[in-house]
Structure 1
Amino acid sequence: MNTIELADQSLCTGCGACAARCPKHCISMRENAVGIVLPVIDTTACIGCHTCEKACPILKTPEPHKPSEAYAAWSSDGAERVTSASGGVAIEMYKHAVANGYAAVGASQNDDFSVTHKLVTSADGLGQFKNSKYVFSDAYDAFADIKKALRESRKVIFIGLPCQVAALRKLFRDDSLLLVDLVCHGTTPLSYLRQHIGMLSRQAGKVAKRMSFRDPAHDTCKFTLTLYDIRGKFYAKRTKDGDTYQFGYHRAVSYRENCYHCRFACAERQGDITIADYHGLGLCAPAFFSSRKVSLVLINTGKGKAFVEELVSGGRVHVEPRPLEEPFKGEPQLRHPSVKSKYRMAFEKEIVRHGGDFEQAIKRLQRKYMAQMRIVGVVSLPKKILRKVKKTIIG
């Protein structure tokens, strides 16, 4: 039997395309000692056909698409916009799709706090796809459902990470599949989130039944992590840097290793459409509207353009054309992957030293970061005061 060579563990995204394509089902996706999900081959069942290698989007990356248009966009439904992470464009895409006979596939958080992609065919199931999920998501369990829907001549819309979209492009070459990629900063292992929820719950003497990463009850723009008990009352509320998990995520400390080498964090995209928070709005041209609750939409293919035009003509979203270069100036992940900081370098050693114990590995690093930020704040205070004085005098 010829030796099977899957993507190097430092580059593997855990997309599961290799497992989905294996004709003998001898590849499983498992967590390693520090919580990273990777493919494991049962060599006793493997027939050496190399089908898994051909399906891997890392070993041979699909040819990307070059964006042709950029828009600032938001839902025309005020309620959807308030409860969405940014402009509510994703939920409007889903609503339009199912209203026109598509199957919709998106990320949903389960009762055990894992995140899996699920396929739904009615508007009733779309609410579970709303808002950000800052944790590793399992898309491979949905591959079989997507395959079945396409075989039944049904259109499918998939919204997910660029690495997941690349996997789908390797698995399904079907014009009935509309792919939308998210601008991704990185993804954190599920085991870290579960440990964090456990720690907060023990401190409060509660059991978590629901959580949110950007809780609409506390303004999604503030990135508030909340936990709710069985009665629906929140008992934990943590903001960006005041929380070990959020510090790890938002400061690019606790991602999977592949995220720091991501070949999909670039200007050319895997999806027919790219969506994100609109960072950098106004950098290249004046924006005569608030930057709050605004989504970025990049048009990457003719199929993507036609779909967005349907959203606009149907009154589901409002769009404002923007200079194409603007989002690339404002969003680093449209230029390069997240960069390793000194905190990440230290975390790599700490998570191994503590045997995958996330809280033990990160809490000291978070304290160091917070202390450094306090020093920076004190040093920059005179400049802030001076700017305010100048503004008052000029005003």
Structure 2
Amino acid sequence: MTEVEVLLRAHAPQVLTALVRHHGGFEACEDAVQEALLAAATQWPVEGVPANPRGWLIRVASRRRTELWRNETARRRREETVALLEPPEVEPLPEVDDTLTLLLLCCHPALTPASQVALTLRAVGGLTTGEIARAFLVPEATIGQRISRAKQRIKSTGAEFRLPPPDERPARVAAVLRVLYLIFNEGYTATSGPALHRVELTAEAIRLARQLHARLPDDGEVAGLLALMLLTDARRPSRARPDGSLVPLAEQDRSRWDRAAIAEGVALVSTALTTTRVGQYQLQAAIAAVHDEAARAEDTDWAQILGLYDLLDRVAPGPMVTLNRVVAVAMVYGPRVALDQLDRAEADPALAGHHRVHAVRAHLLDLAGEPEAAREQYRLAAKRTLSVPEQRYLEMRAAG
């Protein structure tokens, strides 16, 4: 990414919030900002970056927004007034609220999760519709429709560009965290396609989580999510073989892990766990920290991990938590105990037939000394995953 692209991506949400606050109308303001970004991408490499990039973008976008406003039939009576308006150089509200307010708007509860993700990446992340579509391996028209519907939905609900009242903020922040978590997970382990990672998504999720943490430094779950992302992404350099196939955690070259990211993540989650109410992202980060702090796979403190999964299962139960806990049970109490628990867990409709159930059962059968049965489960898992790197790994294990 060039210096100009980095600048544009960093300033885009601030410019959008300035326009929305001054002019109103999220959709028209977003269109005006996109045109300003396009103008900057064309002019700045030739003419040089202006001394005040944010001010330049606000001026250009605000002029374009004024032009759009003039063309709106319902607002023709305001044309003369609008023509006299000067774009704001400095916003009256502190910038600290801007990105948080925009994130909360993009994750409005009236939107579907898919629309929340797409709108967040477009409006706050600064990704183009094409970039988002490529990251999720869907047609650009599909993402465009999601964004368009999301903006129309926000408009129809009468949502205003302001922070929600205090009693609504926890739920709204929780929605933002869920969206950032979804973005990161899709980037770290792509659910389909030829690539194991989509670095543009993990990087964007971490960047936005950092911004959110800067604005809500005392929120333990915000810190926990950022820690989880850092501790997980630290392993990325050793997660894939040269052919792109998956390398499981126990087989990874830990000397290639990002120790600076691990140290930052451990510090974040340690502080959050001791100073704030415990939540699901903190617990997941704590589990990741136990893995990352083990010098060798055999040094992993599985008893501590199982205890953390027990807590997580009470705080935020879910099918993937259940599966991961079963693996921890196997490492503490043996594969037979874990296989019994896996059989019971598979009764959950969310897990029935899931490729990861077969993959976990294969792993447990391997540990139990049943290689033939394990290979059959690896073959079933390989057939059911849509991820090519995972498929390669599972087929390799099935081949023995």
Question: Which category of TM-score, normalised to the shorter sequence, fits these structures?
Answer: under 0.3
Q: Which has the higher contact order (CA 8 A, sep 6+)?
A: 1
TM-score (norm 1): 0.26
TM-score (norm 2): 0.25
More helix by proportion, 1 or 2? 2
More strand by proportion, 1 or 2? 1
